């Protein structure tokens, strides 16, 4: 039996991961932030007097839409007048008051456009004393496509592709997309005004920027038609973009089309945006669990990005220092990090960024007793595999070598899934119904913990 097993490091890592996951489980997250009494509805710090509200509507879009809507229905019961929430194909279910529609992700489709029409028409019915609860989660932008009149879905997709091809940044792409949409960039808030609007948001982007999650339908937009035009000129796209798009942007600059709502506009006095699930919230819950298990724990960052194997090396370097000098914290130590790394695929193997992280880490932590690293995606899926991630310990490398398997070769071939399938260490959770990117857990037990 390995020393790591004796220390139950693997078991501890699993419970720490699941504690993080539980905090951002859509249903749990809604319940944490939404409380109803006989007379009031409290969402976050905002208290609505139920007798002041004429009607309550529920709209939403994103992969986690169904469990979020289900919970809202359970909490509000018969208080909901009407609702419409759009989810990805296969993610739906039946509810009493809220209609659940399905559409396509990541490539939007006609069904998504029809669903958007339905939501827009529902919002047009709302009045000053109404409350609209808007449930936003990952994938919401593709799931609810609402191109402006005169531009087809295909044309809008062509624009995105052209921008990607010319190397435009994600900020530049979003600037243009917001100005070709009827809901993105705060425009859903405008459609809702003067009703109250309260968004419950499950963030799947690094940094949790409200104007980025699902393209910020309920937040002020700082970008303008003028910015769009500068991007068109910068990448010399004037002759490449569909004529309908050029015409629309031109009319926008000429002031013939209303800008997206800007910061300070009165619309937003009636709007509340509340993040109910995010990577940092998962990390904080994971930290509480780790501390309950007796670990000294620190959260490194929820903003971690970059090439997976290099990021893994920095994490392994921390494990080494914990053992060597007790910095940044002394054993039993738990370091948590989040965010989402990338993999520049060069090989032909099977894997995902989390399994590749653990594979790279196992090379650097080889021979280190009492050390375990777990990297896993909170959505339960890592790349095109059935695993959420993988465990690496100080003995994984040696174990592989003894089996005649070379970790370095599997890493070179981006074949992390087959590596851990052979050597052991795959972490399988099944679908989790949520997504706040990845969690990484480094555990270093006390030297003599196993004695």
Instruction: Tell me how far apart the alpha carbons of residues 324 and 318 are, in angstroms, rounded to a whole number.
Output: 10
Percentages helix, strand, coil for the chain (3-state, rounded to 5) are: 40, 20, 40
CB of 334 to a second copy, least distance (A): 12
Q: Which is nearer to a second copy, 38 or 346 (CB)?
A: 346
Q: Which is nearer to a second copy, 341 or 433 (CB)?
A: 341
Q: Which is nearer to a second copy, 299 or 405 (CB)?
A: 299
Q: Which is nearer to a second copy, 76 or 285 (CB)?
A: 285
CB 256 within 8 A of CB 226: no
CB of 21 to a second copy, least distance (A): 19
Q: Which residues pair with 298 in a beta bridge?
A: 335
CB of 210 to a second copy, least distance (A): 13
Residue ranges in contact with a second copy by CB under 8 A: 207, 280, 283, 298-307, 310-311, 313-314, 316-318, 320-321, 324-325, 327-328, 339
CB 100 within 8 A of CB 69: yes
Instruction: Tell me how far apart the alpha carbons of residues 177 and 182 are, in angstroms, rounded to a whole number.
Output: 10
CB of 52 to a second copy, least distance (A): 34
Q: Which is nearer to a second copy, 97 or 315 (CB)?
A: 315
Q: Which is nearer to a second copy, 43 or 304 (CB)?
A: 304
CB of 436 to a second copy, least distance (A): 14
Backbone angles phi, psi at 298, to 5 degrees: -140, 150
Instruction: Tell me how far apart the alpha carbons of residues 101 and 117 are, in angstroms, rounded to a whole number.
Output: 12
Tell me, what DSSP letter sits at residue 78? Answer: G
Q: Which is nearer to a second copy, 293 or 322 (CB)?
A: 322
DSSP string of 128-161, one letter each residue? TT-EEEEEE-TTHHHHS--BPTT--HHHHHHHHH
CB of 62 to a second copy, least distance (A): 23
CB of 366 to a second copy, least distance (A): 12
Instruction: Tell me how far apart the alpha carbons of residues 99 and 185 are, in angstroms, rounded to a whole number.
Output: 25
Tokens in use for 238?
């004037």
CB 48 within 8 A of CB 76: no
Backbone angles phi, psi at 193, to 5 degrees: -55, 140
CB of 336 to a second copy, least distance (A): 9
Q: Which is nearer to a second copy, 122 or 318 (CB)?
A: 318
Q: How many CA atoms lie within 13 A of 280 on its CB side?
A: 11
DSSP E strand boundaries for 368-434: 371-377, 389-393, 426-427
Q: According to DSSP H, which parts of 254-307 are helical?
A: 279-292
CB 135 within 8 A of CB 59: yes
CB of 307 to a second copy, least distance (A): 5
* Structural element, H or E, at residue 398: helix 396-402
Instruction: Tell me how far apart the alpha carbons of residues 290 and 44 are, in angstroms, rounded to a whole number.
Output: 26
């Amino acid at each position: 039996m390995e020393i790591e097993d004796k220390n139950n490091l693997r078991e501890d890592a699993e419970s720490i991961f699941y504690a993080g996951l539980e905090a951002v489980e859509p249903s749990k997250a809604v319940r944490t932030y939404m409380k109803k009494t006989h007379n009031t509805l409290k969402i976050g710090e905002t208290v609505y007097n139920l007798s002041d509200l004429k009607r309550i509507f529920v709209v939403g879009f994103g992969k986690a839409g169904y469990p979020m809507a289900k919970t809202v229905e359970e909490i509000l019961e018969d208080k909901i007048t009407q609702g419409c929430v759009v989810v990805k194909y296969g993610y739906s279910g039946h509810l009493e008051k809220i209609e659940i529609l399905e559409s396509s992700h990541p490539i939007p489709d006609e069904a998504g456009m029809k669903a958007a029409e339905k939501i827009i028409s529902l919002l047009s019915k709302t009045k000053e004393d109404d409350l609209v609860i808007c449930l936003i989660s990952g994938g919401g932008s593709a799931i609810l496509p609402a191109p402006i009149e005169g531009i087809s879905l295909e044309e809008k997709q062509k624009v995105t592709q052209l921008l990607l091809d010319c190397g435009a940044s994600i900020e530049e792409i979003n600037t243009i997309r917001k100005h070709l949409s009827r809901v993105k960039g705060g425009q859903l808030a405008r459609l809702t005004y003067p009703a109250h609007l309260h968004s419950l948001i499950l963030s799947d982007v690094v940094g949790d920027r409200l104007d980025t999650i699902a393209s910020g339908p309920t937040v002020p937009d700082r970008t303008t038609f003028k910015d769009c035009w500068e991007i068109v000129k910068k990448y010399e796209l004037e002759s490449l973009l569909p004529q309908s798009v050029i015409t629309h942007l031109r009319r926008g600059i000429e002031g013939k089309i209303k800008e997206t709502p800007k910061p300070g506009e009165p619309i937003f006095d009636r709007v509340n945006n509340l993040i109910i699930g995010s990577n940092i919230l998962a990390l904080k819950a994971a930290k509480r669990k780790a501390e309950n298990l007796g670990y000294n724990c620190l959260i490194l960052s929820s903003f971690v990005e970059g090439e997976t194997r290099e990021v893994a090396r920095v994490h392994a370097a921390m494990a080494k220092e914990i053992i060597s000098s007790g910095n940044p914290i002394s054993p039993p130590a738990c370091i948590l990090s989040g965010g989402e790394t990338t993999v520049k695929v060069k090989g032909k193997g099977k894997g995902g960024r989390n399994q590749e992280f653990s594979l790279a880490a196992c090379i650097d932590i080889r021979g280190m007793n009492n050390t375990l690293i777990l990297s896993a995606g909170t959505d339960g899926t890592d790349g095109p595999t059935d695993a959420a991630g993988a465990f690496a310990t100080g003995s994984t490398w040696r174990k592989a070598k003894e089996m005649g398997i070379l970790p370095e070769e599997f890493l070179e071939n981006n074949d992390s899934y087959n590596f851990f399938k052979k050597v052991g260490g795959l972490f399988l959770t099944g679908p989790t119904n949520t997504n706040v990117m990845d969690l990484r857990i480094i555990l270093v037990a006390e030297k003599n913990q196993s004695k």
